[in-house]
């Protein structure tokens, strides 16, 4: 139970801490978006947890998966917008509002599974020390990893590298849409390769890499395509926007 709890936190809680760490490197007004995003995400989490039976029964039993897909897509759009935004991440109310929405979606997506996990294994009349110890260890690992990332990148002001990590993180998260669509039988896809013999999804390193950029030891063709499209699209959009901005600046300079 201790190992299962720690692995669970690496799988479902670590994405929340990754998002907090990356957003804190890129978006100012940390107190604003952390508090507002945390409160909104907690409220969404409670609402989703209470409505899981009804939502799951909707749309021929695919309601819960489709809701997760919708939240993943919203989160991906927000992260992509932050990546494509202006170089200066220190000004503007839109940035902290977007960061708060992204954090709220991450909490709703991942903490809901945590509430279900504890509700399943919690024993009111029994000893839950192992479960609580696993939760503390898992939270400690997640917080330590996130703080280490911030401590490594913040002093040297590597916002460009942080943006790349944010894009990889966003692409890895939204690529899981392919797995959810396969679960509800919207399509099927063959396995592309396997690296299970080196790094399995079931161990701690595999979970760590999966939460950071969507690592999968046995990816399907659909999962790989989703990841590539999700990764390339913001790059192209940002390049196009930069080119248009440069052209506008040159035209204004010539006019003056």
* Predicted structure pTM score: 0.88
For the segment 150-174, the average pLDDT, to the nearest whole number, is: 85
The answer to whether the CB of 221 falls within 8 A of the CB of 189 is yes
At 70 the pLDDT is 93
Q: What is the pLDDT of residue 136?
A: 85
Which pLDDT belongs to residue 88? 47
Query: Do the beta carbons of residue 230 and residue 76 sit within 8 Å?
Result: yes
Beta bridge partners of 220: 191
98 and 78 in contact (C-beta within 8 Å)? yes
The whole-chain average pLDDT of the chain stands at 84
Classify 220 as helix, strand or coil. strand
Stated length of the chain: 256
What digits encode the pLDDT tens for the residues 60-75? 888 888 999 999 999 9
pLDDT in tens, 27-52: 888 889 999 999 999 999 989 888 88
- Residue 96, burial from CB neighbour count under 10 angstroms (0-12, 13-18, 19+): buried
All structural domains of the chain with their residue ranges: 2-255
Question: 26 with 162: CB under 8 angstroms?
Answer: yes
Q: Per-residue pLDDT averaged across 118-124, rounded? A: 65
Are 54 and 166 contacting, i.e. CB atoms less than 8 angstroms apart? Answer: no
The rounded distance, in Å, linking the Cα atoms of 117 and 231 is 31
């Amino acid at each position: 139970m201790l190992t299962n709890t720690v692995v669970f936190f690496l799988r479902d809680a670590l994405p929340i801490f990754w998002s907090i760490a990356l957003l804190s490197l890129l978006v100012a007004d940390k107190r604003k978006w952390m508090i507002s995003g945390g409160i909104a995400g907690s409220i969404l989490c409670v609402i989703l947890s209470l409505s899981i039976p009804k939502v799951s029964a909707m749309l021929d039993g695919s309601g819960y998966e489709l809701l997760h897909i919708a939240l993943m897509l919203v989160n991906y759009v927000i992260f992509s917008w932050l990546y494509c935004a202006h170089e200066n991440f220190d000004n503007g109310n839109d940035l902290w509002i977007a960061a708060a929405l992204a954090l709220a979606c991450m909490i709703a997506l991942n903490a809901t599974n945590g509430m279900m996990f504890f509700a399943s294994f919690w024993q009111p009349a029994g000893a839950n020390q192992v479960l609580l110890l696993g939760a503390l260890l898992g939270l400690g690992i997640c917080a330590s990893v996130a703080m280490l990332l911030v401590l490594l990148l913040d002093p040297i002001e590597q916002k460009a590298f942080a943006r790349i990590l944010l894009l990889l993180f966003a692409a890895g998260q939204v690529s899981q849409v392919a797995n959810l669509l396969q679960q509800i039988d919207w399509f099927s896809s063959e396995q592309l390769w396997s690296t299970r013999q080196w790094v399995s999804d079931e161990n701690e390193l595999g979970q760590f890499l999966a939460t950071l950029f969507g690592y999968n030891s046995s990816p399907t063709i659909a999962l790989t395509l989703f990841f590539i499209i999700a990764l390339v699209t913001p790059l192209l959009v940002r390049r196009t926007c930069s080119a248009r901005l440069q052209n506008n600046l040159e035209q204004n300079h010539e006019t003056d």
